[in-house]
Amino acid sequence: MPPMRWLDRRYTFLGGSLRAPIALLIGATLASSILGAQVPGVLEGGVLVTGAVYLGQAWRLVTWVLFEQDPLSLIFAALALFWFGNELVRLWGPGRFLAAYFGLAASAGLVTCAAALAFAPLRAVAFLGPWTVVTALIVAWAICFPTRDVFVYFVLPLHGRNLVYATLAGTLLFALLGGGVRLFPHFAAQLITLVALRGSPFSRLWARARFELAYRSWRRRASRLKEVPPPPRDESSRWYH
């Protein structure tokens, strides 16, 4: 089989089609979490610790999303990858999806490490878990499929676009209820996704300002136009200068 061709394979899971990149991520996260729980030193060497990254342990920027200590969180993260990730793999392609997954992990990790230089509490936390990237992928799915409907917790129906606001609000709620600085990478990953897929709000404001300036300039030029006498009878149009 040609290199990377296996990423195009599909597997049947729970009556649905599971694409190879999703199966790879779920399997890797499950295996890493079990090893981290059973083998001393594996978890400590793979989670995101800002001080360790400062010392050159750059692999932590990628490996930290492959560990989860809470079984229930691990199960729901796998289900969320199955529900939302499959569509994104189909839309982006296997290689681009995997690059986005680990790119979001590394980007959120770098933002966290940079923020920790000024905000000391971030230096005291060991960050781990796939939910940071999974919530960002949910935001990406909602942006890419704005007219789709999804049932949150199988009860609350949400339009695709509203899922963006629900994800951001849910992350904020968990932070206020005790997540604190542990959810900082979640916000970083979600903001990076919003900027990447929808553009910076500052760029949109600048575009609106440029349009307004151009429109006002046109109005000023139009106000100086003068109507000339009517043309000969065989011409029906009017000319302006």
Across 172-196, b (16+ Cβ under 10 Å) vs e yields: eebbeeeeebbbbbbbbbbbbbbeb
- Give all strands (DSSP E) within 28-184, no chain letters: 48-49, 126-127, 149-152, 156-159
Q: Is residue 136 part of a domain?
A: yes
- d(CA 66, CA 136) in angstroms, rounded, equals 15
Give a yes or no: residue 120 inside a domain: yes
User: pLDDT digits over 171-180, tens only?
Assistant: 999 999 887 8
Higher pLDDT, 214 or 49: 49
The pLDDT of residue 203 is: 47
User: For position 151, what pLDDT does the model report?
Assistant: 66
For 15-72, how does the pLDDT look when each residue is reduced to its tens digit (9 = 90+)? 678 899 999 999 999 999 999 999 999 999 999 999 999 999 999 999 999 999 999 9
Helix (H, G, I), strand (E, B) or coil at 187: helix
Whether 58 maps to a domain, the answer reads yes
Tell whether the model's pLDDT for residue 84 goes beyond 70.
yes
* Residue 189, in any domain of the structure: yes
Average pLDDT, the chain: 84
**Is 89 domain-assigned?**
yes
Residue pair 143/81 in contact (Cβ under 8 Å)? The answer is no
The pLDDT confidence band at residue 81, using thresholds 50, 70 and 90, is very high
Radius of gyration for the chain, computed over Cα atoms and rounded to the nearest angstrom: 25
Q: Is residue 122 situated within a structural domain?
A: yes
Choice between 53 and 228, residue whose per-residue pLDDT is larger: 53
Q: What is the predicted pLDDT for the residue at 205?
A: 45
In a domain, residue 72? The reply is yes
The domain that holds 95 is classified in CATH as 1.20.1540.10
Q: What is the total count of domains within the chain?
A: 1
With beta carbons less than 8 A apart as the criterion, state whether 117 and 144 touch: no
Say how far apart CA 23 and CA 25 lie, in whole Å: 6
What pLDDT shows up at residue 230?
A: 60
Write the pLDDT tens digit of every residue in 95-129.
Answer: 999 999 999 999 999 999 999 999 999 999 999 99
Residue ranges making up the domain that contains 61: 5-198
pLDDT in tens, 145-169: 888 877 665 456 676 778 888 899 9
pLDDT mean over 207-214: 59
